[in-house]
């Protein structure tokens, strides 16, 4: 305990007081001067402690008045609603989402947007650019010939070995030779879908679902069947089981079992096991996208659905895009019983990835520095997500609903009174605030009164002002 | 003239003597000592002159006997046959080539092969690894944030600007915003085919044709219709015109107009113009793969078919894979009237390429160093191609046919007496010599007595011995 810096012990002292209610919301905390006197610490220690409490979202500075306990209105945010179990499924349909998403991207790019709550990535400062740069430089110095030699098949052996080792942590025992390095998770999803389905086939997806997956289905001429998904425990395996009886051309189900995009939910282990068993029995492929799995607040990695796979019926896809380096476009997959078809498709679609980035990431992911980075990133995202959630509680109108995920960087917010999130998106954008309207997360138009807010950036007082503005826009909308 | 180093003037002196026949094939040339005496040059100058003549393929060293004029048997190689104009077309058919190609690759990888005449790339030493490494390092130092930021759409603006400028040299006037950077030319071909065709459609291709394209067609469920292609002037536009009348589901024709793989032929300008006009009239897309275009012996870039495109009916695809950096996997395309569909498919298939390699290549391709590199590479490939062609003349049995391309790195050799190139491939592989059997270059089995030989590597005396062995294997085969 004594190993902690003095300022941190001081901050913890007041943290406990705030959490226990000894210091109430909106109450002034002792001034920096009185902290110096009372605790016999230096001015800089007292200041550091206050800044720590501020960055943890416990206190806030008011100009010329000192620090105050931040007001807590969390009761104002209602929990997210569960999907109605009796709701009939929307029919499986060809996806028509690309124009909507393109329009969204084009509009975002037309406006200068200092406040980005749309991009599902942490801000660049949260990723280890310098360490990766150094690893790239080392790889370039040691093996410049990588730039001019034929690329090794399936991906760099070192990276595949590191990923196989890390896969043990989520319950998967993978042969490195089953691992294919891809251009991000998006290419992995393309290859997985092409391996198991043909144009015209139906694919079951979560609802709401990441719009990028809908675009992939659209581009491949596949039909989407949206399965009700709980904001608490993910896709309804019951609903999927029913759907399998009525949809004979259903070839696969795509799930994001851990910190789903946009819901942030995690499937409980028993549901993962049920899903794996059901799909194995019915000979329907499971395509698992575990892009967010490592971003768990508590550092306890949740198992993959593939951990319950006994026959190669689960294709596992993941990415280093959200965790490590959005600019390096590295993803990977293990194709299960479709491994050789996946390898063929990867070769025919884009050939193996260029080796340099792989060599650098293999070095970094094999080191303790990666674990330290991940721990920092998890804390950072947790803190930011908490602050944005609090701001929603503080500034959004009563009746707003939301569940608070325990990982990832996303919040899925249901606006009260069926306000149009498309309209709110436009109004907010005009104020320099990017959000992601719910209409992009389904082929059905079912989520027109939802917003996805990404919490990837440092929560500054300017961000707080932006959230206040956003809250006012939502409150004023009809 | 006096600016030439002394050794080169000396070498030129004997070059003229050999070319004029003053010194006959197999004749001994004056010893190094007598060169020193006769021409009053230093020993090192005399030696350098001999080495120059040797590397130019004019003389050869025989152990303990000195240098001899290399024997010339070029008359033994007959010119390549033109395709029979009355030969009926093979029916359009789904491609089944992947297993054959996989088997070929697996066999190649099982054998240690010091002599690679199969890989269609120059040896790593011929590419500017060091300059590219330096450019990468600069890009990393200046913009490490590239690694951790969202990637810019369509590709790095600097690279697209450089490519648009370079495109002027092959007669194309492209808007940089029409250019999409891809993972090699193979991804560009995938996107082009997916933009214009659906599974089950028919695509016209050259015959013989690069097996990689056949694999792409196979993986996309497209039918291939092989069009007779002349070893001198490329695809028969007449045959294509006839095919268009009988194949209503023909959606596109894929051509490699410059230094075709495997033939090495170049379409004359008037044929390129006819092809563009015919396809525009018939509303059939032209997909042009210009991967080898810059590898012209004389440095005179041949125009693209797209230079005659008036309505966006030509999709242009190319690559930096053969010219600059096989390990960087960079390609690019301009989608013509399918540009927005191509952009959508690229986004849905793999997202924009990671920017680092693009930044480095943009810098390099924008500099004079790139032009110097290309001039060196062209000379190198010309020399190597000439030497391999001579070795075929020297060592292959009478009746062997071949045309000698004026660019690229490939030779397409017809073996006499319908010898099986599959069998020769296996026998040569057992001797450490990789070749590419003709069966991979068609869906029809029409080229079972052809070999493709790649001339990407320095032609050493050990390579010459390997060619002698290969010739003996061919001669002994039945």
| Average confidence (pLDDT) over B355-375 | 97
Q: Which A positions 423-442 lie with beta carbon below 8 A of chain B?
A: none
Q: Is B108 on the interface with A (CB under 8 A)?
A: no
Domain final position from A69, A87, A110: A69
Bridge partners (DSSP) of residue A205 are A226, A254
Distance from C-alpha of A207 to C-alpha of A106, rounded to nearest angstrom:
25
Q: Note the residue count of chain B.
A: 478
Instruction: Give me the CATH number covering residue B39.
Output: 1.10.10.10
- Identify the CA nearest to A25 among candidates A66, A59, A50, A75: A59
Give the distance from residue B455's alpha carbon to the nearest chain A alpha carbon, in angstroms. Answer: 16
Does B150 sit within 8 Å of A121, measured CB to CB?
Answer: yes
Percent of chain B with pLDDT over 90: 80
Q: Which residues of A touch B137 (CB under 8 A)?
A: 137, 140
Q: Is A354 on the interface with B (CB under 8 A)?
A: yes
**Residue B102 to residues A101, A116, A348, B434: CA-CA distances in angstroms?**
38, 47, 11, 15
Does A151 sit within 8 Å of B98, measured CB to CB?
Answer: no
Q: Is A121 on the interface with B (CB under 8 A)?
A: yes
Does A329 sit within 8 Å of B351, measured CB to CB?
Answer: yes
Q: Is B353 on the interface with A (CB under 8 A)?
A: yes
Distance from C-alpha of B87 to C-alpha of B251, rounded to nearest angstrom:
23
Q: Which A positions 291-320 lie with beta carbon below 8 A of chain B?
A: none
Q: Is A197 on the interface with B (CB under 8 A)?
A: no
| Average confidence (pLDDT) over A83-94 | 89
CA atoms within 13 A on the CB side of B25: 8
Give the distance from residue B216's alpha carbon to the nearest chain A alpha carbon, in angstroms. Answer: 5
| Average confidence (pLDDT) over B70-95 | 82
- What are the backbone dihedrals phi and psi of residue A24, each rounded to the nearest 5 degrees, phi first? -90, 160
Q: Which residues of A touch B128 (CB under 8 A)?
A: 148
Query: Helices A43-55 and A6-20: crossing angle, nearest 10°?
Result: 50
Give the distance from residue B256's alpha carbon to the nearest chain A alpha carbon, in angstroms. Answer: 18
Is residue A322 within 8 Å of A291, Cβ to Cβ?
A: yes
Distance from C-alpha of B415 to C-alpha of B447, rounded to nearest angstrom:
10
Q: DSSP labels for B66-121?
A: EEEEPP--GGGSBPPPPPPTTPPPPPPEE---HHHHHHHHHHHHHS--SEESS-SS
Residue to substitute from A97, A147, A220, interface B, most B β-carbons within 10 A: A147
- Identify the CA nearest to B149 among candidates B362, B355, B360, B349: B355
Residue to substitute from B96, B134, B148, interface A, most A β-carbons within 10 A: B148
Which range marks the domain in which residue A386 is found?
Answer: 78-125+371-476
> Can you read off the two tokens belonging to residue A258?
């851990």
| Average confidence (pLDDT) over A346-366 | 96
| Average confidence (pLDDT) over A191-219 | 97
Is residue A230 within 8 Å of A116, Cβ to Cβ?
A: no
Query: For B188, which residue in chain A has the nearest alpha carbon?
Result: A350
Q: Which B positions 208-237 lie with beta carbon below 8 A of chain A?
A: 212, 215-216, 218-219, 221
Q: What does the pLDDT read at residue A4?
A: 81
- What are the backbone dihedrals phi and psi of residue A91, each rounded to the nearest 5 degrees, phi first? -65, 150
- Identify the CA nearest to A353 among candidates A159, A145, A129: A159
In a domain, A1, yes or no: no
> Can you read off the two tokens belonging to residue A250?
């259903």
Give the distance from residue A308's alpha carbon to the nearest chain B alpha carbon, in angstroms. Answer: 29
> Can you read off the two tokens belonging to residue A381?
């995202």
Same domain, B348 and B413: no
Distance from C-alpha of A126 to C-alpha of A123, rounded to nearest angstrom:
6
Instruction: Indicate the average pLDDT of chain B.
Output: 93
Residue B53 pLDDT grade (very low, low, confident, very high; cuts 50, 70, 90): confident
Does B350 sit within 8 Å of A98, measured CB to CB?
Answer: no
Same domain, A131 and A121: no
Query: Helices B368-395 and B461-476: crossing angle, nearest 10°?
Result: 40
Q: Is B26 on the interface with A (CB under 8 A)?
A: no
Whether residue B73 is predicted with pLDDT greater than 60 in this model: the reply is: no
10 Å Cβ neighbour count for A182?
30
Query: For A320, which residue in chain B has the nearest alpha carbon?
Result: B148
Distance from C-alpha of B82 to C-alpha of B369, rounded to nearest angstrom:
40
Distance from C-alpha of B427 to C-alpha of A162, rounded to nearest angstrom:
39
Q: What does the pLDDT read at residue A2?
A: 54
- Identify the CA nearest to B473 among candidates B436, B427, B430: B427
In a domain, A463, yes or no: yes
Distance from C-alpha of A318 to C-alpha of A230, rounded to nearest angstrom:
22
Distance from C-alpha of A192 to C-alpha of A25, rounded to nearest angstrom:
51
In a domain, B352, yes or no: yes
> Can you read off the two tokens belonging to residue B255?
């051509």
Q: What does the pLDDT read at residue A1?
A: 43
Same domain, B108 and B183: no
Q: For residue B251, what are the contacts with CB-CB under 8 A and spacing of at least 6?
A: B196, B197, B198, B201, B202, B203, B284, B285
Give the distance from residue B71's alpha carbon to the nearest chain A alpha carbon, in angstroms. Answer: 34
**Residue A291 to residues A240, A297, A317, B132, B460: CA-CA distances in angstroms?**
22, 15, 7, 32, 50
Q: Which B positions 255-294 lie with beta carbon below 8 A of chain A?
A: none
Give the distance from residue B100's alpha carbon to the nearest chain A alpha carbon, in angstroms. Answer: 12
Does A137 sit within 8 Å of B129, measured CB to CB?
Answer: no
Same domain, B84 and B215: no
Q: DSSP labels for B332-351?
A: EEE-GGGHHHHHHHHHHHH-
First to last CA, chain A: 53
Domain final position from B305, B335, B369: B369
Q: What does the pLDDT read at residue B2?
A: 54
Whether residue B76 is predicted with pLDDT greater than 70 in this model: the reply is: no
| Average confidence (pLDDT) over B87-104 | 90
Does B326 sit within 8 Å of A149, measured CB to CB?
Answer: yes
Q: Which residues of A touch B146 (CB under 8 A)?
A: 327
Residue to substitute from B130, B152, B354, interface A, most A β-carbons within 10 A: B354
| Average confidence (pLDDT) over B317-331 | 96
Whether residue A198 is predicted with pLDDT greater than 60 in this model: the reply is: yes
In a domain, A253, yes or no: yes
Q: For residue A332, what are the contacts with CB-CB under 8 A and spacing of at least 6?
A: A155, A159, A160, A163, A179, A180, A181, A182, A188, A317, A318, A319, A320
Bridge partners (DSSP) of residue A414 are A401, A450
Same domain, B99 and B222: no
Residue to substitute from A107, A327, A434, A454, interface B, most B β-carbons within 10 A: A327
Give the distance from residue B378's alpha carbon to the nearest chain A alpha carbon, in angstroms. Answer: 17
Query: Helices B98-110 and B211-219: crossing angle, nearest 10°?
Result: 130
Q: What does the pLDDT read at residue B72?
A: 65
Q: Is A102 on the interface with B (CB under 8 A)?
A: yes
Query: For A215, which residue in chain B has the nearest alpha carbon?
Result: B348
Q: Is B140 on the interface with A (CB under 8 A)?
A: yes
Same domain, A413 and A280: no
Q: What does the pLDDT read at residue B74?
A: 53
Instruction: Give me the CATH number covering residue A466.
Output: 3.90.1150.10
Distance from C-alpha of B271 to C-alpha of B285, rounded to nearest angstrom:
16
Same domain, B304 and B362: yes
Bridge partners (DSSP) of residue B206 are B227
Same domain, B147 and B269: yes
Q: Enter the pTM of the model.
A: 0.87
Query: For B140, which residue in chain A has the nearest alpha carbon?
Result: A133
Classify A60 as helix, strand or coil: strand
Q: Is A372 on the interface with B (CB under 8 A)?
A: no
Structural domains counted in chain A: 3
Does B148 sit within 8 Å of A326, measured CB to CB?
Answer: yes
Q: What does the pLDDT read at residue B399?
A: 93
Give the distance from residue A123's alpha carbon to the nearest chain B alpha carbon, in angstroms. Answer: 8
Q: Pick A18 or B386 by higher pLDDT.
A: B386
Q: Tokens 């007041």 sit at which residue? A: A14
In a domain, A445, yes or no: yes
Q: Which residues of B touch A199 (CB under 8 A)?
A: 198-199
Domain final position from B352, B369, B386: B369
User: Exposed/middle/buried for A284, CB within 10 Å: 0-12, 13-18, 19+?
Assistant: buried
The interface pTM score, or ipTM, of the predicted complex is 0.87
Whether residue A418 is predicted with pLDDT greater than 50 in this model: the reply is: yes
Does A348 sit within 8 Å of B219, measured CB to CB?
Answer: yes
Whether residue A76 is predicted with pLDDT greater than 70 in this model: the reply is: no
Does B148 sit within 8 Å of A325, measured CB to CB?
Answer: yes
Same domain, A157 and A246: yes
Query: Helices A421-430 and A461-476: crossing angle, nearest 10°?
Result: 130
Q: For residue B67, what are the contacts with CB-CB under 8 A and spacing of at least 6?
A: B28, B29, B50, B53, B54, B59, B60, B61
Does B194 sit within 8 Å of A199, measured CB to CB?
Answer: no
Q: What does the pLDDT read at residue A422?
A: 96
Whether residue B18 is predicted with pLDDT greater than 90 in this model: the reply is: no
In a domain, A325, yes or no: yes
Percent of chain A with pLDDT over 70: 98
Same domain, B102 and B172: no
Q: ∠ CA B31-B33-B36 to the nearest 5 degrees?
A: 115
In a domain, B394, yes or no: yes
Same domain, B111 and B22: no
Distance from C-alpha of B363 to C-alpha of B323, rounded to nearest angstrom:
15
Residue B1 pLDDT grade (very low, low, confident, very high; cuts 50, 70, 90): very low
Whether residue A206 is predicted with pLDDT greater than 70 in this model: the reply is: yes
Residue A72 pLDDT grade (very low, low, confident, very high; cuts 50, 70, 90): low
Percent of chain A with pLDDT over 90: 80
Does B184 sit within 8 Å of A350, measured CB to CB?
Answer: yes
- Identify the CA nearest to B114 among candidates B384, B385, B433: B433
Same domain, B184 and B113: no
In a domain, B1, yes or no: no
Cβ pairs bridging A and B (under 8 Å): 176
CB-nearest to A140 from B105, B136, B151 is B136
pLDDT tens figures, A273-294: 999 999 999 999 999 999 999 9
Rg, C-alpha atoms of chain B: 24
**Most distant pair of Cα atoms in chain B: their distance:** 75
Give the distance from residue A344's alpha carbon to the nearest chain B alpha carbon, in angstroms. Answer: 8
Residue to substitute from B113, B150, B152, B348, interface A, most A β-carbons within 10 A: B348
- Identify the CA nearest to A242 among candidates A88, A127, A368: A88
Does B148 sit within 8 Å of A124, measured CB to CB?
Answer: yes
Query: For B321, which residue in chain A has the nearest alpha carbon?
Result: A148
Q: Where are the alpha helices (DSSP H) in B127-286?
A: 129-142, 157-167, 184-196, 211-219, 237-246, 269-282
Q: For residue B372, what are the contacts with CB-CB under 8 A and spacing of at least 6?
A: none
Q: Is A98 on the interface with B (CB under 8 A)?
A: yes
Q: Which residues of A touch B218 (CB under 8 A)?
A: 348
Instruction: Give me the CATH number covering residue B136.
Output: 3.40.640.10
Residue to substitute from A102, A180, A191, A348, interface B, most B β-carbons within 10 A: A348
């Amino acid at each position: 305990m004594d190993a902690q810096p003095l300022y941190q012990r001081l901050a913890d002292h007041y943290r406990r007081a705030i959490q226990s209610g000894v210091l109430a919301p909106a109450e002034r905390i002792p001034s920096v001067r009185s902290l110096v006197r009372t605790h016999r610490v230096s001015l800089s220690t007292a200041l550091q402690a206050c800044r720590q409490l501020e960055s943890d979202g416990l206190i806030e500075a008011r100009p010329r008045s000192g620090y105050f306990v931040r007001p807590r209105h969390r009761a104002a945010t209602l929990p997210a609603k569960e999907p109605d179990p009796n709701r009939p499924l929307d029919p499986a349909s060809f996806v028509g989402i690309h124009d909507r998403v393109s329009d969204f991207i084009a509009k975002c790019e037309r406006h200068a947007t200092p406040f980005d709550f749309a991009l599902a990535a942490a801000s660049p400062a949260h990723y280890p650019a310098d360490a990766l740069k150094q690893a790239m430089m080392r790889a370039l110095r040691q093996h410049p010939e990588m730039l001019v030699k034929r690329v090794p098949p399936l991906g760099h052996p070192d990276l595949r070995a590191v990923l196989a080792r890390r896969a043990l942590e989520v319950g998967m025992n993978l042969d490195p030779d089953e691992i294919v390095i891809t251009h991000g998770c998006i290419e992995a999803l393309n290859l997985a879908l092409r391996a198991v389905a043909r144009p015209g086939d139906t694919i079951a997806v979560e609802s709401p679902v990441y719009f990028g997956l809908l675009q992939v289905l659209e581009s491949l001429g596949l039909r989407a069947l949206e399965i009700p998904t709980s904001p608490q425990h993910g896709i309804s395996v019951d609903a999927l089981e029913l759907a399998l009886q009525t949809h004979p051309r259903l070839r696969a189900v795509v799930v994001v079992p851990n910190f789903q995009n946009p819901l942030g939910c995690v499937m409980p282990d028993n549901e993962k096991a049920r899903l794996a068993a059901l799909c194995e029995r019915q000979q329907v492929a499971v395509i698992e996208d575990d892009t967010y799995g490592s971003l768990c607040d508590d550092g306890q990695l949740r198992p993959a659905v593939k951990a319950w796979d006994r026959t190669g019926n689960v294709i596992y896809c993941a990415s280093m895009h959200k965790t490590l380096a959005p600019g390096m476009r590295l993803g990977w997959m293990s194709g299960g019983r479709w491994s050789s078809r996946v390898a063929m498709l990867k070769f025919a679609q884009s050939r193996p990835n260029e080796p340099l980035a792989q060599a650098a990431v293999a070095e970094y992911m094999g080191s303790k520095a990666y674990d330290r980075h991940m721990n920092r990133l998890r804390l950072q995202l947790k803190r930011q997500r908490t602050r944005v959630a609090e701001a929603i509680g503080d500034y959004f109108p009563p009746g707003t609903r939301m569940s608070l995920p325990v990982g990832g960087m996303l919040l899925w917010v249901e606006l009260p009174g069926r306000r149009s999130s498309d309209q709110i998106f436009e109004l907010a954008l005009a104020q320099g605030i990017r959000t992601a309207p719910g209409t992009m997360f389904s082929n059905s138009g079912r989520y027109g009164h939802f917003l996805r807010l990404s919490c990837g950036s440092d929560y500054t007082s300017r961000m707080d002002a932006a959230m206040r503005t956003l809250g006012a826009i939502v409150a004023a909308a009809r």
